[in-house]
């Protein structure tokens, strides 16, 4: 009897890497899984693996960045398994360049897949869950978004990716606040793991250890938190961003109002400098941008 028995999960970008591990772990805990990936063969291979282990899964290759095609994903999930209870927004791409060398396409492609990709399915399901709750049907739903350390602390050469991931963290806070009344909980992850997006950029750091040693960057290490967040057991947790890697789970502390000074009147430009210097001296320093 798994902690996700009777629940249906849609996972985007689930044909490999983190998404694949999430799909396998959800299925092992009793969930029916819609494995969405633009590479249909990859999605089907994950489904075949789940079914071989006795689970239920459906492969889907529809585009997550358009409302009409995202609706097809939701419809396919309902046709196969009934209600949808959990959405894991995992799909993403990288177009890494220094900011001064970045092109318009580099920017737009990353924003489309990450940020718009997080919007379309979430919006469709949020509407359905809201309408169900208003009609008196109990809702116990989850949105699990994917942010990144690049979005929380910044990362040299990833201004497009980091900006999208920072926006996703903020989106999670607003989803949590707005949808709580309808029985929906929204949280986000900032995972560190070996995937097709990271294994080349961080090859030395994320290389597999010697046989028998704990593989800190194995993407399977992230899956237990994701599955728990998708289960009924996480009903009291919403609006959080979790950093996770290896055996470490951390709750990220976001932007908050820090030290302040109030002159009680308009500042003269020449007076601002000393006031800012005092504020910065009193404030807790931000984590350094990765790579700086």
| Edge-first strand listing for the sheet containing 56-60 | 56-60, 32-36, 8-12, 86-88, 141-146, 184-191, 241-245, 248-251
- Asked whether residue 147 is assigned to any structural domain, the reply reads yes
In a domain, 285, yes or no: no
For residue 47, the domain's CATH number is 3.40.50.720
With respect to residue 292, please indicate whether it lies within any of the assigned structural domains.
Answer: no
Q: Cβ distance 122 to 44 under 8 Å?
A: no
CA dist list (Å): 216 to 52, 164, 206, 241, 246: 27, 26, 8, 20, 4
Per-residue model confidence (pLDDT) at position 201: 53
Strand-pair partners of 191: 244
DSSP 8-state class, residue 111: I
Read off the tokens for 3. 């902690």
* CA quadruple 204, 19, 175, 78: dihedral, nearest 10: 170
DSSP strand pairing (86-88 vs 56-60): unpaired
The contacts of residue 102 (CB under 8 Å, 6+ apart) are: 95, 159, 160
Query: Which residues, at least 6 apart from 257, have a Cβ–Cβ distance to it below 8 Å?
Result: none
- Structural domain contains residue 182: yes
CB contact set of 200 (below 8 Å; sequence gap of 6+): none
Query: Which residues form the catalytic set?
Result: 148, 161, 165
Assigned domain for 256 exists: no
pLDDT at 51 (0 to 100): 98
Q: For residue 97, is it within any domain?
A: yes
**Number of domains observed in the structure of the chain:** 1
> What was the pLDDT predicted at 53?
97
In a domain, 25, yes or no: yes
pLDDT in tens, the chain (292 residues): 799 999 999 999 999 999 999 999 999 999 999 999 999 999 999 999 999 999 999 999 999 999 999 999 999 999 999 999 999 999 999 999 999 999 999 999 999 999 999 999 999 999 999 999 999 999 999 999 999 999 999 999 999 999 999 999 999 999 999 999 999 999 999 999 886 655 455 545 556 766 777 687 899 999 999 999 999 999 999 999 999 999 999 999 988 899 999 999 999 999 999 999 999 999 998 889 988 8
pLDDT of residue 209: 63
pLDDT at 97: 95
Structure tokens belonging to residue 142: 């989850």
Comparing CA positions, the residue from 17, 15, 291, 14 lying closest to residue 161 is 291
Range of the domain at 219: 8-251
Identify whether 270 is part of a domain.
no
What's the pLDDT at 194?
81
Cα–Cα distance, 137 to 132 (Å, whole number): 5
pLDDT of 256: 87
The two most distant CA atoms of the chain are separated, in Å, by 71
- Nearest CA to 67 out of 108, 119, 110 is that of 119
For the record, the structure tokens of 262 come out as 């109030």
Do residues 275 and 261 lie in contact, with contact meaning Cβ atoms separated by under 8 Å?
A: yes
């Amino acid at each position: 009897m798994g902690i996700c028995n009777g629940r249906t999960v849609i996972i985007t970008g689930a044909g490999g890497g983190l998404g694949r591990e999430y799909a396998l772990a959800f299925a092992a805990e009793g969930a029916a899984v819609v494995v969405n990936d633009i590479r249909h063969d990859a999605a089907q291979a994950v489904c075949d693996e789940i079914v071989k282990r006795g689970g239920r899964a459906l492969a889907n290759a529809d585009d997550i960045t358009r409302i009409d095609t995202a609706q097809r994903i939701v419809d396919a999930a309902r046709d196969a398994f009934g209600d949808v209870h959990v959405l894991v927004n995992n799909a993403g791409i990288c177009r890494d360049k220094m900011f001064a060398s970045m092109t318009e396409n580099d920017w737009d492609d990353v924003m489309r897949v990450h940020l718009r990709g997080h919007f379309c399915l979430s919006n469709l399901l949020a509407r359905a869950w809201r309408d169900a709750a208003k009609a008196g049907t109990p809702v116990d739903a989850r949105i699990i978004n994917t942010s990144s350390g690049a979005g929380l602390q910044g990362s040299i050469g990833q201004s497009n990716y980091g900006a999208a991931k920072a926006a996703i963290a903020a989106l999670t806070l607003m989803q949590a606040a707005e949808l709580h009344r309808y029985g929906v909980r929204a949280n986000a992850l900032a995972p560190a793991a070996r995937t097709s997006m990271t294994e080349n950029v961080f090859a030395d750091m994320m290389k597999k250890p010697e046989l028998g040693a704990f593989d800190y960057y194995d993407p399977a290490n992230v899956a237990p938190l994701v599955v728990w967040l998708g289960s009924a057991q996480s009903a009291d947790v919403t609006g959080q961003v979790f950093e996770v890697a290896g055996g470490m789970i951390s709750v990220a502390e976001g932007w908050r109002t820090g030290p302040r000074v109030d002159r009680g009147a308009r500042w003269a430009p020449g007076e601002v400098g000393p006031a800012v210097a005092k504020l910065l001296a009193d404030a807790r320093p931000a984590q350094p941008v990765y790579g700086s």
